[in-house]
Amino acid sequence: MDLLSLRYFRVVARHEHISRAAAELRVAQPSLSRTIARLESDLGVPLFDRRGRTVRLNRFGAAFLRRVDRALTELDDARTELADAAGLEHGTVAVASETLLSLTEFLPAFRARYPDVELQLYQSTAARMARQLAAHEIDLCLASQEITGPAIRTVELFREPVLLAVPLTHPLAAHDSVPIESLAGEPIITTRVGYWQRTLTDHLFATAGLTPNITVEGDELAAVQYLVTVGLGIGLIPEMSLRSRAQTAVAWVRLDTPDSHRTLRIAWREDTYLSHAAQRFRDMLIESLTPGTNRNSRGDD
C-alpha cells in the first residue's frame, strides 16, 4: 500500500467507474484496475462491487474512503503549510465560479499585487462546486446559490438586482419595468440546469404560474448578453453587466418582482489548511467586493 494507490482509490471511489477514473488520472485502465486489485489484496477485503467497468463502493470501501480522505487531506495540508513556512513557492489558488464574469474586474488587481501566484480557474455549477470542495479540488468558490456541506464557511459578498436584457428593437425595450407575465411565450436565452441564472428563471416563471419558453441554453452566463444582442431572444442578466467593459447593445428592463436579484457568496472549507496565497485571494476579494464593512458569514456544520 502506498500513497499513489490511495490517491487512485479515492478517484475511482468518486467516479465509481474505471474508465472515467483512468481518464482523469491519465493512466491505462488495466494499470488502474491492477492497482485497485493490489490494494484490496493488501487489505484482505473487496472495496468495490463490480459490474463491468462500473464499480460500486461497498461498505468496506466506504469505511476505508473516510479514513483515506482524512489521511490524504492531512498530508496535503501539511505539505502546503510547510511550503508556506519555508517560502519555497509563491502559491497556487484554485477557484471555481458559476461564471468568470464575477472575477473579471478583480483578477487584474490581484495579479498586479501578487504577480507570482498561479491561478487555476474552474467554471462549475453550485452542485459541482460543493463536490469540488468536498474532494479538496479547489480552495475557494463563488456562487449565487447555496453551497452547503460539512465545515463549509460562506461570506456574503454582495446582493444585486437581476435585470431583463432585450434587443434594442424589442417591444419590451420601451418599458422601464415589466411584470413576469409579459414574458409569456417570449424566447428565453439562459444557462443550463444547475446554474443560478436558470434556477432564477425557472423560479420567477413558476411564481407567476408560467413555464419559460427556453430556446437557447448554454454554460456561460456572459454569452447570454451577446445572444440577446443578435436577436435570438431575451434573458436575465445581473446588474454588474452594466459596468462591464464588454457591455453590448441591449436594452435593460427591470422586472416587477422582489425576487429578481442574486446574492454572491464566497465559500471554503474551514477544516482544510488554506495556503497563504488562497488566504490573500479570499481576503482581497472580500475587501474588494463587499460594500462597506458589513460582512455576514455563516458556517454549515
Mind listing the pLDDT tens digit for each residue in 141-155? 999 999 988 889 999
The whole domain housing 124 covers 91-156+266-289
Tell me which of 41-45, 76-80, 191-195 is least confident.
76-80
Q: What is the DSSP letter of 234?
A: B
CA 13, CA 10: separation in Å to the nearest integer? 5
Looking at residue 153, its pLDDT comes to 94
Question: 29 with 72, same domain?
Answer: yes
Q: Is residue 233 part of a domain?
A: yes
For cell 464593512, name the residue.
Answer: 293
Considering the domain architecture, whether residues 231 and 278 belong to the same structural domain is answered as no
* Cell numbers that stand for 233 in this block: 431572444
Are residues 148 and 241 located together in one domain of the fold? no
Q: Which of 82, 111, 130 is the last residue of a domain?
A: 82
Q: Is 265 exposed, middle or buried (0-12, 13-18, 19+ CB in 10 A)?
A: buried
Residue 89, pLDDT > 90, answer no
The tally of domains found in the chain comes to: 3
Give mean pLDDT, residues 240-266.
85
| Domain harbouring 138, CATH code | 3.40.190.10
* Residue after which a domain boundary falls, among 41, 61, 82: 82
How many residues does the structure list for the chain? 301
Arithmetic mean of pLDDT, 159-185: 95
Is 300 within a domain? no
Cβ 133 vs Cβ 265: under 8 Å: no
75 and 20, same domain (yes or no): yes
Do 44 and 132 lie in one domain? The reply is no
pTM of the model: 0.72
Residue 245 predicted with pLDDT over 60: no
Q: Could you tell me which of 225, 265, 255 has the C-alpha nearest to residue 98?
A: 265
Residues 11 and 23: their CA atoms lie apart, in Å, by: 10
